Amino acid sequence: MKQSEIKALISLLDDEDYEVLNHVESKIRSMGDTVIPYLEDRWEESSLSPLMQKKLEDLIHDLQYNAFFDRLINWKKNGSEDLLEGIWTIATYQYPELSLEKLRQDVEQIYYEVWLEIRDGMHPMDQIKTMNSVIFGKLKFGANTKHFHSASNSMLNVVIESKKGNPISLCVIYLLVAQKLNLPIWGVNLPNLFILTYKSGNMQFYINVFNRGLVFSRVDIDSYIAQLNLTQNEIFYQPCNNLDIIRRVLRNLTLAFEKVGDDDKVKEIDRALQEMMR
């Protein structure tokens, strides 16, 4: 449709005829998020009634949510190979205009800072010490203990900007950098605490990124599981995949919205989580 036709269509949203209004809304929704800028322009007009403003806000939100939901489904259908794309998709729930390329550039900059310090032939422990020194020392990333349950901890753009995150968001940054360095590091779905593992041949140890990259062993996980009165399960010790990580981020986000009583957002994120569980 031409711009003039789209604007004319939007102008009919205040039509008093229910059938006309229903047809117009259906047509606008069918156009997807490409129509959002036109809706936003209309919303900014000072002559609008509060009712019309609310109608536009609801339409914009619905279109943005549908775009987020479709991106997430497509990411999964395409094999969920690009972890950053999955994490970016979640961030677009709160920041629909966030650029994937901008997020890639931010991660690339963190990687570059670490790459400058990594040397060929380094022992794995020294590699981790170097990563820890750069990420937590030089770049000042750290645990967001003050606002542990905040939804912002699931938004990688906010975590990179604020340098504060929860266990899984900090692990994602660490993991993305490690992958670019070709280090054999993966995420591990430990109960109540997401961690990383370095696994290569007969060597395997674990990294608590939330505690500034503290290195620990399988025996330490045994003790942790025992303290939680849980039965040992191999998933507590072995690498998980990107889809597992995205599911866990969505669970954290659901909990964050539950904490502040935002039932609408809880339902929206839970719907996305259920789709990722299929």
Distance from the first to the final alpha carbon of the chain:
36
Rounded to whole angstroms, how far apart are CA atoms 78 and 80? 6
Q: What does the pLDDT read at residue 131?
A: 98
Rounded to whole angstroms, how far apart are CA atoms 44 and 37? 11
Percent of the chain with pLDDT over 90: 85
In this structure, the number of other CB atoms found within 10 A of the CB of residue 245 comes to 22
DSSP reduced 3-state for 256? helix
- Give the length of the chain: 278
pLDDT digits (tens, 9 = 90+) for 211-225: 999 999 999 999 999
Q: What does the pLDDT read at residue 17?
A: 80
> Distances from the Cα of 202 to the Cαs of 3, 25, 198, 199, 222, in angstroms?
62, 60, 11, 8, 19
The DSSP symbol for 199 reads E
Ramachandran class of 255: left when φ > 0, alpha when ψ lies in -120 to 50, beta otherwise: alpha
Q: What does the pLDDT read at residue 45?
A: 85
175 within 8 A of 186, measured Cβ to Cβ: yes
Q: Give the residue ranges of DSSP H helices in the chain.
A: 3-11, 18-30, 36-43, 50-77, 83-94, 100-115, 124-132, 156-162, 167-180, 218-227, 242-259, 263-277
Q: What does the pLDDT read at residue 15?
A: 77
89 within 8 A of 156, measured Cβ to Cβ: no
pLDDT digits (tens, 9 = 90+) for 164-196: 999 999 999 999 999 999 999 999 999 999 999
pTM of the model as a whole: 0.93
pLDDT digits (tens, 9 = 90+) for 95-130: 999 999 999 999 999 999 999 999 989 999 999 999
Rounded to whole angstroms, how far apart are CA atoms 200 and 205? 10
